Amino acid sequence: MYVAVKGGETAIRNAHALLAEARRGDPAVPEIGIDQIREQLALAVDRVMAEGSLFDRDLAALALKQARGDTIEAIFLLRALRTTLPRFGAALPVDTATMTLRRRISATFKDLPGGQLLGPTFDYTHRLLDPALATQTPAAPAPAAKATPKVSAKAASKAAGKAAPKPPMGETSTPAAPVPRVTDLLGDEKLIEPAPADTGAEPPDLTRTPLAFPADRATRLQNLARGDEGFLLALGYSTQRGYARTHPFVGEIRIGEVEVELFVEELGFAVPLGAVSVTECQMVNQFHGTAEAPPQFTRGYGLVFGQSERKAMSMALVDRAMRWEELGETLSAPAQDAEFVLSHSDNVQSTGFVEHLKLPHYVDFQAELGLVRLMRGAHAAASDALQDGDPE
Amino acid sequence: MSAMPTITYNFGYLDEQTKRMIRRAILKAIAIPGYQVPFASREMPMPYGWGTGGVQVTAAILGPDDILKVIDQGSDDTTNAVAIRSFFAATAGVRTTTRTKEATIIQTRHRVPETKLGPEQILVYQVPIPEPLRFLEPRETETRTLHALADYGLMHVKLYEDIARHGHIATTYAYPVMVAGRYVTDPSPIPKFDNPKLDDCPALQLFGAGREQRIYAIPPHTRVVSLDFEDHPFRVQRFDRPCALCGAEDVYLDEVILDDRGGRMFVCSDTDHCDQRRAAGHAGTMAPQGAPKGTSKP
Considering only residues 102 to 121 of chain B, which have any Cβ-Cβ distance to chain A shorter than 8 Å? 109-111
- Per-residue pLDDT at A144: 60
Average pLDDT over chain A, rounded to an integer: 86
Answer yes or no: do A100 and A67 share one domain: no
Q: What is the C-alpha separation between B245 and B219, in angstroms, rounded?
A: 35
Residues of chain A with pLDDT > 90, as a percent, come to 57
Q: Is B145 on the interface with A (CB under 8 A)?
A: no
The segment with the largest mean pLDDT, out of A95-109, A116-130, A155-169, B179-193, is B179-193
- Per-residue pLDDT at A88: 83
Which stretch of A135-144, A226-235, A286-295, A342-351 has the lowest confidence by average pLDDT?
A135-144
B246 in catalytic set: yes
Q: What is the C-alpha separation between B174 and A123, in angstroms, rounded?
A: 52
Answer yes or no: do B94 and B208 share one domain: yes
Radius of gyration, alpha carbons of chain A: 27
Answer yes or no: do B137 and B259 share one domain: no
Answer yes or no: do A246 and A328 share one domain: yes
Answer yes or no: do B207 and B75 share one domain: yes
Total domains present in chain B: 2
For residue B132, pLDDT beyond 50: yes
pLDDT band at B248 (very low <50, low <70, confident <90, very high): very high
Express each pLDDT in B166-176 by its tens digit. 888 989 999 99
Answer yes or no: do A194 and A331 share one domain: yes
Q: What is the C-alpha separation between B220 and B200, in angstroms, rounded?
A: 7
Residue B254: partners with Cβ closer than 8 Å, 6 or more residues away: A362, A363, A366, B73, B74, B266, B267, B268, B269
| Domain final residue, candidates B226, B252, B269 | B226
Answer yes or no: do B75 and B28 share one domain: yes
Identify the CA nearest to B219 among candidates B21, B51, B33, B70: B33
In a domain, B281, yes or no: yes
| Domain final residue, candidates B169, B196, B226 | B226
For residue B145, pLDDT beyond 70: yes
Asked if A356 lies within 8 A of B47 by C-beta distance, the reply is yes
Task: Give the pLDDT mean for A32-55.
Answer: 97
3-state class (DSSP) for residue A250: strand
Answer yes or no: do B266 and B150 share one domain: no
Domain that holds residue A42: 10-82
Answer yes or no: do A198 and A341 share one domain: yes
Identify the CA nearest to A72 among candidates A358, A347, A352, A357: A347
Residue B71 sits in a domain whose CATH number is 3.40.50.11310
pTM for this structure? 0.86
Answer yes or no: do A101 and A41 share one domain: no
Asked if A2 lies within 8 A of B244 by C-beta distance, the reply is yes
In a domain, B68, yes or no: yes
pLDDT band at A139 (very low <50, low <70, confident <90, very high): low
In a domain, A138, yes or no: no
In a domain, A226, yes or no: yes
Environment class of A86 (CB within 10 Å of its CB; exposed 0-12, middle 13-18, buried 19+): exposed
Answer yes or no: do B83 and B212 share one domain: yes
Answer yes or no: do B195 and B163 share one domain: yes
Residue of B38, B172, B258 with shortest CB distance to A367: B172
User: Which amino acid would we find at residue B69?
Assistant: K
Answer yes or no: do B248 and B142 share one domain: no
Contacts A209 to B, Cβ<8 Å: 40
| Domain final residue, candidates B202, B226, B250 | B226
3-state class (DSSP) for residue B110: coil
Q: What are the helix and strand counts (H, E) for chain B?
A: 7, 12
Q: Is B197 on the interface with A (CB under 8 A)?
A: no
Task: Give the pLDDT mean for B244-253.
Answer: 94
3-state class (DSSP) for residue A123: coil
Q: What is the C-alpha separation between A95 and A278, in angstroms, rounded?
A: 11
Asked if B49 lies within 8 A of A361 by C-beta distance, the reply is no
Residue B26: partners with Cβ closer than 8 Å, 6 or more residues away: B57, B60, B61, B206, B215, B217
Answer yes or no: do B119 and B51 share one domain: yes
In a domain, B252, yes or no: yes
Total domains present in chain A: 2
Residue of A86, A352, A364 with shortest CB distance to B50: A352
Answer yes or no: do A250 and A276 share one domain: yes
Domain that holds residue B256: 238-291
Give the alpha-carbon dihedral of A362, A367, A369, A375, to 10 degrees.
-170
Contacts A211 to B, Cβ<8 Å: 213
The pairing of strands B224-226 and B177-179 is antiparallel
For residue A146, pLDDT beyond 60: no
Identify the residue among B43, B87, B112 best suited for mutation to test binding to A, counting A beta carbons within 10 A and taking the highest.
B43
Which stretch of A78-92, A257-271, A308-322 has the lowest confidence by average pLDDT?
A78-92
For residue A153, pLDDT beyond 90: no
- Per-residue pLDDT at B295: 42
B51 in catalytic set: no
- Per-residue pLDDT at B68: 97
pLDDT band at A75 (very low <50, low <70, confident <90, very high): very high
In a domain, B297, yes or no: no
Answer yes or no: do A111 and A54 share one domain: no
Identify the CA nearest to B59 among candidates B28, B95, B19: B19
Answer yes or no: do B30 and B172 share one domain: yes
In a domain, B274, yes or no: yes
In a domain, B248, yes or no: yes
In a domain, A54, yes or no: yes
In a domain, A375, yes or no: no
Which of these is catalytic: B12, B53, B274, B284? B274
Environment class of A384 (CB within 10 Å of its CB; exposed 0-12, middle 13-18, buried 19+): exposed
Answer yes or no: do A157 and A206 share one domain: yes
Residues of chain B with pLDDT > 90, as a percent, come to 80
In a domain, A2, yes or no: no
Answer yes or no: do A110 and A210 share one domain: yes
Contacts B166 to A, Cβ<8 Å: 375, 378
Answer yes or no: do B183 and B260 share one domain: no
Identify the residue among A359, A371, A373, A374 best suited for mutation to test binding to B, counting B beta carbons within 10 A and taking the highest.
A359
Environment class of A98 (CB within 10 Å of its CB; exposed 0-12, middle 13-18, buried 19+): middle
Express each pLDDT in B54-98 by its tens digit. 999 999 999 999 999 999 999 998 888 999 998 999 999 999 999
For residue A178, pLDDT beyond 50: yes
Contacts A66 to B, Cβ<8 Å: none
Average pLDDT over chain B, rounded to an integer: 92
In a domain, A357, yes or no: no
Q: Is B236 on the interface with A (CB under 8 A)?
A: no
User: Which amino acid would we find at residue B272?
Assistant: D
In a domain, A5, yes or no: no
Separation in Å, CA of A232 to nearest CA in chain B: 20
Answer yes or no: do A114 and A211 share one domain: yes
pLDDT band at A378 (very low <50, low <70, confident <90, very high): confident
Answer yes or no: do A71 and A102 share one domain: no
In a domain, B11, yes or no: no
Q: What is the C-alpha separation between B115 and B124, in angstroms, rounded?
A: 15
> In the 3-class helix/strand/coil scheme, how is B275-290 assigned residue by residue?
HHHHHCCCCCCCCCCC
| Axis crossing angle, helix B79-91 with helix B52-61, rounded to the nearest 10 | 30
In a domain, B85, yes or no: yes
When comparing pLDDT for B26 and A163, which is higher? B26
- Per-residue pLDDT at B157: 95
| Axis crossing angle, helix A71-82 with helix A57-66, rounded to the nearest 10 | 130
The segment with the largest mean pLDDT, out of A68-82, A94-108, A150-164, B73-87, is A68-82
Buried b (16+ CB within 10 A) or exposed e, A292-330: eeeeebbbbbbbbbbbbbbbbbbbbbbbbbbbbeebeee
The pairing of strands B122-126 and B105-109 is parallel
Residue of B73, B174, B213 with shortest CB distance to A362: B73
Asked if B47 lies within 8 A of A7 by C-beta distance, the reply is no
For residue A154, pLDDT beyond 60: no
When comparing pLDDT for A1 and B226, which is higher? B226
Which of these is catalytic: B51, B54, B268, B284? B268
In a domain, A314, yes or no: yes
Q: What share of chain B is helix, strand, coil (3-state, %, to 5)?
A: 25, 20, 55
Answer yes or no: do B39 and B185 share one domain: yes
Answer yes or no: do A77 and A163 share one domain: no
The pairing of strands B183-185 and B95-96 is unpaired
